[in-house]
């Protein structure tokens, strides 16, 4: 009888573990992102073209560029927060240095945080209400001469600026 009870307990424990794993697995599923072209127009008349992934859902914004080991020189990620508000970011579980551009609904770069440090849990603030954050490789702001006041154009910005 004791062996039957022990066997029943093992089966119950295995079933409970399987249920737990099945219920947690969707929470850790990796998000997929669509992408589109994005252009930055600098105040000195230069134009820089990028291909950016779009983070438009809560789950996509939460995952962002975490765990990425590299990103192409002309790639990035555009976070759309769907409303104008102060935005805070951090670099937990982010493996590559990033430059963060905080962008208004109209597409104007309102604030830049260059050189965000991988794995840092320091809060990076937009310092005011913005609609978007564009993450580029660390050093891109300096390399491309991007400054506050420059403008950003993309289909995502056009869609939400109306």
- pLDDT-derived band at 101 (thresholds 50, 70, 90) equals very high
Q: Which residues contact 112 (CB under 8 A, 6 or more apart)?
A: 99, 100, 101, 102, 141, 146, 147, 148
Burial annotation 25-41 (CB, 10 A radius, 16+ → b, else e) = eeeeeeeebeeeebebe
Of the candidate ranges 29-38, 123-132, 147-156, the one whose mean pLDDT is the lowest: 29-38
Q: How many CB atoms lie within 10 A of CB 138?
A: 19
Cα–Cα distance, 29 to 58 (Å, whole number): 13
Report phi then psi at 76, rounded to 5. -175, -170
The predicted pLDDT at position 18 comes to 43
Whether pLDDT at 26 is above 80: no
- pLDDT-derived band at 159 (thresholds 50, 70, 90) equals confident
What mean pLDDT is predicted for residues 43-55? 97
Q: What is the pTM of this model?
A: 0.81
pLDDT tens column, 60-88? 999 999 999 999 999 999 999 999 999 99
């Amino acid at each position: 009888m004791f062996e039957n009870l022990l066997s029943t307990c093992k089966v119950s424990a295995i079933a409970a573990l399987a249920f737990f794993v099945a219920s947690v697995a969707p929470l850790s599923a990796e998000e997929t992102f669509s992408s589109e072209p994005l252009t930055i127009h600098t105040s000195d008349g230069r134009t820089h073209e990028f291909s950016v992934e779009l983070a438009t859902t809560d789950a996509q914004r939460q995952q962002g560029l975490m765990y990425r080991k590299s990103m192409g020189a002309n790639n990035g990620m555009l976070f759309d927060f769907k409303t104008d508000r102060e935005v805070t970011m951090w670099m937990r579980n982010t493996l590559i240095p990033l430059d963060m551009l905080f962008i208004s609904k109209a597409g104007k770069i309102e604030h830049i945080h260059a050189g965000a440090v991988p794995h840092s849990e320091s809060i990076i603030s937009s310092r005011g209400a913005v609609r978007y954050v564009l993450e580029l490789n660390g050093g891109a702001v300096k390399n491309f001469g991007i400054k506050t006041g420059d403008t950003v154009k993309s289909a995502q910005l056009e869609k939400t600026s109306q």
